[in-house]
């Protein structure tokens, strides 16, 4: 329990609220900000002046409206000048991007990640990507830090990757390794962007679970805008979950919440990489679909797409495979719907492909498992930001501190 | 997104924060309030004066401390003078209580509820209980309203009980029925306590799911104090869940979240009252235990206790039954731990009895299902407030509005 804020805290809160609004919604007129934020015009004017001085927003007259009276200035985030670096570490690839305030990807690089690639071999090309992108950045631009999304369990306290079973990493300080690889000047620029100088061993990148950060991005600017209860599922070899309840992420005590891929759905099922048996991802992940389609010799999202395409063309075995995966997908979503009573479930990664051909099967099983009241306003959706969500979400980790207190 | 609060909003927030503090923690010195709430002494003095004038707290000098200097006044909630009525509707009984600010049960009544009892037959004795308790209340006491806990799915918008499968009620306006039954003067006293005059058809009682309100009470003043991620399980014929994530209740879009009893754990299992098959409650609820113990002809929590006692005494069939229920209990908790990464799981109702004799079995299965990171700080606990949690929690629904704004 805490008492109410001081006037200075209120002012900083208002600065952050205004900056967050244009970060999420893009260019907004002062008139709209006045109404959306519930502040009067002179307060809005003072706040935008302060943010403009800090180089975080710009203001300009709108295009001619043809209406009488002085038009309201339009406030824009300085997307080209204020940015964060984002890293995404996935089963089959590694990606890096430079993301501007407002969530615009300004530049990007990617490389394949052979399965089994270790941390040291991943951070070298990633550091190269960042150096390469950094060469193209103007002198007047400001880096506010770096963020990293990874398909694994991330300790909130220090960003250590405790377990990324599908990537094969255990207790890895990936941010520290990448910061060391970046070395000297660039690393310290990232560090000063973060506003805290030497981060110690933890490195300069804030680390989050890929499904978690993607869920937040789809919630703030994608398929789940306006929904306060959202389940975002991301499938590849494993299945990750990012859950938003009451408008806030369900992260759990240590930051490991949302491991829905390891909800056991079939006690008599297949062994899972986690050591348990019959976890949801053993029934709906890439291996399950390829096994059921008699394509155990293949792997990767391309192979999944081929099965889905074959099913769409009427191939009997592929159709049965997709149907069975869809059935288990609906089953597990039904369980989650009973637990969370969400408005939206979003299918990302390979689950998107499965959903697009097996929606009826998924709905049918979901409806059998989920209580009517829990599913009555539920919508099933595909991501709007697609694969960009992990990059934008990684950058959001770095932007978050700026938005909390824009004058740091 | 909303801008920061005005000074008047801050003052009301501070009044609520102070009142909430003594409501939850009991008598507290002004010195401690100053430090806990982060406000200065004169502000605390002004707030307590205002709350005392409103009749919500009292202040008195502490007992002689033997220390030099003027002792700090002790602030107490006016538990005997400010109260709410609480109702609990359970599978086998109905209860009513008068609960003082601070969460003290001042008076209580209860009656058996034969299975199959309808709403109209339940609200008559409940109204009688309230009238009876009300006769003993002094003229200077103030009723702030009424709350009701029920083992069912409650629509947040209007308190309608959508589905209470173990109680046998569907789409019932229980609060409206009870308010009508109370009638006239008493009902309007409850209504003015709630501060909103005519509630329309919804009745004067705020309604919540029993496991939800119990979870909040164990979180604020029971077995899960200091834990921000908590799963409270309550078992009888069904299994209800109250979930707290990041310090806040997971209620879902319509208020139906937490239906963990209908998480399907055994796709080949028994039919459930909800229409699905193999729901968790079909494996760990009262019927499952009595079936496994070859006592299908019995029912109720006493019968469950007899099986547990028999198991404790070494009865082979009872031990097997308890062990199997414990195994499924650990299984489902393992799934929830992967989803929520909680610090505490609390076993209430008949699950408490099962936990006390099958803890090893539960832990063993839980550890096999839950990922190590998700369970590393997990503690399994029994409720501290026991059966009182539903009554105190029901009253909290009514107190909540007062705590939000004590000067309403």
Q: For residues B291 and B305, state if they share a domain.
A: yes
Phi-psi region of B10 (alpha: psi -120 to 50; beta: other; left: phi over 0): alpha
Interface contact B369-A276, CB threshold 8 A: yes
Average pLDDT, chain B: 93
- Domain presence at residue B336: yes
By the 8 A CB rule, do A406 and A16 touch? yes
Q: Is the pLDDT of residue B374 over 90?
A: yes
Q: Is the pLDDT of residue B194 over 60?
A: no
Q: A191 pLDDT band (50/70/90 cuts)?
A: low
Say how many C-beta atoms besides its own lie within 10 A of residue A305's C-beta. 12
In chain B, whose CA is at the least distance from the CA of A20?
A: B1
The 8-class DSSP code of residue B173 comes to -
Q: For residues A247 and A351, state if they share a domain.
A: yes
Q: For residues B166 and B260, state if they share a domain.
A: no
The 8-class DSSP code of residue B277 comes to B
C-alpha–C-alpha distance, residues A133 and A155, integer Å: 29
- Domain presence at residue A169: yes
Query: Average pLDDT for residues B291-301, to the nearest whole number?
Result: 95
Q: For residues A361 and A280, state if they share a domain.
A: yes
Tokens standing for residue B288: 């499952």
Q: List pLDDT tens digits, range A124-181.
A: 999 999 999 999 898 899 999 999 999 999 999 999 999 999 999 999 999 999 999 9
Q: For residues A29 and A177, state if they share a domain.
A: no
Q: Strand, helix or coil at A269?
A: coil
Average pLDDT, chain A: 93
Interface contact B339-A260, CB threshold 8 A: yes
- The half-sphere exposure of A46 on its side-chain side, counting CA atoms within 13 A, is 8
Q: For residues B13 and B73, state if they share a domain.
A: yes
Q: For residues B199 and B62, state if they share a domain.
A: no
- CATH number of the CATH domain containing B295: 3.30.420.40
C-alpha–C-alpha distance, residues B265 and B232, integer Å: 18
Which residues form the domain of B254?
A: 223-383
Instruction: Identify the helix (H) or strand (E) that includes residue B73.
Output: none
Question: Which of B3, B265, B377 is nearest residue A17 as measured by Cβ atoms?
Answer: B3
The angle subtended at Cα B346 by Cα B345 and Cα B348, nearest 5°, is 150
- Domain presence at residue B218: no
Q: For residues B118 and B258, state if they share a domain.
A: no
Q: Which residue has the tokens 């008195």?
A: B60
End position of a domain, from candidates A50, A77, A104: A77
Query: Average pLDDT for residues A288-300, to the nearest whole number?
Result: 96
- Domain presence at residue B113: yes
Q: A66 pLDDT band (50/70/90 cuts)?
A: low
- CATH number of the CATH domain containing B44: 1.10.10.10
Interface contact B262-A10, CB threshold 8 A: no
Say how many C-beta atoms besides its own lie within 10 A of residue B302's C-beta. 9
End position of a domain, from candidates A77, A105, A123: A77
- Domain presence at residue A1: no
C-alpha–C-alpha distance, residues B327 and B330, integer Å: 5
Q: For residues B29 and B157, state if they share a domain.
A: no
Q: For residues B378 and B230, state if they share a domain.
A: yes
Q: Chain A contacts of B155, Cβ < 8 Å? A: 373
Q: A195 pLDDT band (50/70/90 cuts)?
A: very low
By the 8 A CB rule, do A21 and A47 touch? no
Q: For residues B306 and B268, state if they share a domain.
A: yes
- Domain presence at residue B217: no
By the 8 A CB rule, do A211 and A242 touch? yes
ipTM of this complex: 0.94
Instruction: Identify the helix (H) or strand (E) that includes residue A228.
Output: none
Q: Chain A contacts of B333, Cβ < 8 Å? A: none
Q: Is the pLDDT of residue A188 over 80?
A: no
| Number of domains chain A is built from | 3
- Domain presence at residue A164: yes
Question: Which of B246, B258, B267 is nearest residue A248 as measured by Cβ atoms?
Answer: B246
What is the rounded (10 degree) CA torsion for A165, A166, A171, A174?
-170
Lowest mean pLDDT among A66-70, A88-92, A247-251: A66-70
End position of a domain, from candidates A77, A104, A133: A77
Lowest mean pLDDT among A60-69, A321-330, B363-372: A60-69
Q: B199 pLDDT band (50/70/90 cuts)?
A: low
Query: Average pLDDT for residues B22-32, to the nearest whole number?
Result: 96
Q: Which of A6, A24, A40, A374 to substitute to test the interface with B, most B CBs within 10 Å?
A: A374
Q: A398 pLDDT band (50/70/90 cuts)?
A: very high
Please give the span between the terminal C-alpha atoms of chain A, in angstroms, as a whole number. 26
Q: How far is CA A352 from CA A304, A345, A357, A362, A384, in A?
A: 11, 11, 9, 12, 11
By the 8 A CB rule, do A389 and A217 touch? yes
Q: A301 pLDDT band (50/70/90 cuts)?
A: very high
Sorted by sequence, the CB contacts under 8 Å of residue A359 that are 6+ apart come out as A326, A380
Q: Strand, helix or coil at A274?
A: coil
Contacts 24+ apart (CB under 8 A), A271-274: A273/A165, A273/A166, A273/A238, A274/A163, A274/A165, A274/B371
Sorted by sequence, the CB contacts under 8 Å of residue A331 that are 6+ apart come out as A265, A365, A366, A369, B264, B267
According to DSSP H, which parts of B251-313 are helical? 280-284, 286-292, 301-312
- Domain presence at residue A217: no
Q: For residues A355 and A399, state if they share a domain.
A: no
């Amino acid at each position: 329990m805490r008492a109410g804020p001081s006037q200075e805290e209120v002012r900083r809160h208002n600065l952050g609220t205004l900056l967050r609004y244009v970060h999420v919604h893009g260019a907004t007129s002062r008139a709209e900000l006045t109404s959306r934020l519930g502040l009067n015009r002179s307060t809005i004017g003072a706040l935008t002046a302060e943010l403009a001085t800090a180089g975080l927003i710009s203001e300009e007259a709108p295009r001619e409206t043809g209406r009488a009276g002085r038009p309201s200035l339009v406030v824009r985030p300085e997307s080209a000048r204020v940015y964060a670096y984002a890293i995404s570490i996935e089963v089959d690839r590694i990606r890096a991007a430079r993301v501007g305030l407002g969530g615009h990807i300004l530049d990007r690089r990617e490389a394949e990640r052979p399965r089994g690639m270790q941390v040291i071999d991943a951070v070298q090309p990633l550091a190269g990507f960042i150096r390469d992108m950094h060469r193209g950045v103007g002198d007047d631009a400001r880096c506010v830090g770096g963020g990293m999304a990874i398909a694994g369990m991330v300790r909130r306290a220090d960003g250590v990757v405790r377990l990324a079973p599908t990537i094969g990493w255990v207790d890895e300080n990936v941010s520290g390794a990448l910061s060391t690889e970046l070395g000297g000047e660039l690393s310290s620029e990232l560090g000063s962007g973060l506003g805290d100088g030497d981060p110690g061993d933890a490195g300069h990148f804030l680390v989050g679970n890929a499904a978690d950060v993607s869920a937040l991005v789809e919630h703030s600017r994608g398929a789940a805008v306006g929904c306060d209860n959202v389940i975002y599922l991301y499938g590849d070899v494993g299945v990750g979950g990012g859950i938003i309840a009451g408008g806030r992420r369900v992260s759990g005590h240590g930051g490991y919440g949302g491991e829905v891929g390891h909800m056991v759905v079939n006690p008599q099922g297949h062994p899972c990489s986690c050591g348990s048996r019959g976890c949801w991802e053993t029934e709906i992940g890439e291996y399950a679909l390829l096994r059921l389609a008699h394509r155990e010799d293949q792997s990767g999202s391309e192979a999944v797409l081929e099965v889905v395409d074959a099913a769409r063309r009427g191939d009997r075995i592929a159709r049965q495979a997709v149907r069975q995966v869809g059935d288990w997908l609906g089953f597990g979503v039904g369980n989650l719907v009973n637990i969370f009573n969400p408005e939206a479930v979003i299918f990302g990664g390979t689950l998107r492909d499965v959903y697009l051909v097996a929606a009826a099967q998924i709905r049918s099983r979901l409806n059998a498992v989920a209580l009517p009241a829990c599913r009555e306003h539920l919508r099933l959706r595909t991501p709007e930001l697609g694969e960009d969500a992990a990059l934008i979400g990684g950058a959001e980790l770095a932007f978050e501190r700026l938005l909390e207190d824009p004058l740091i």
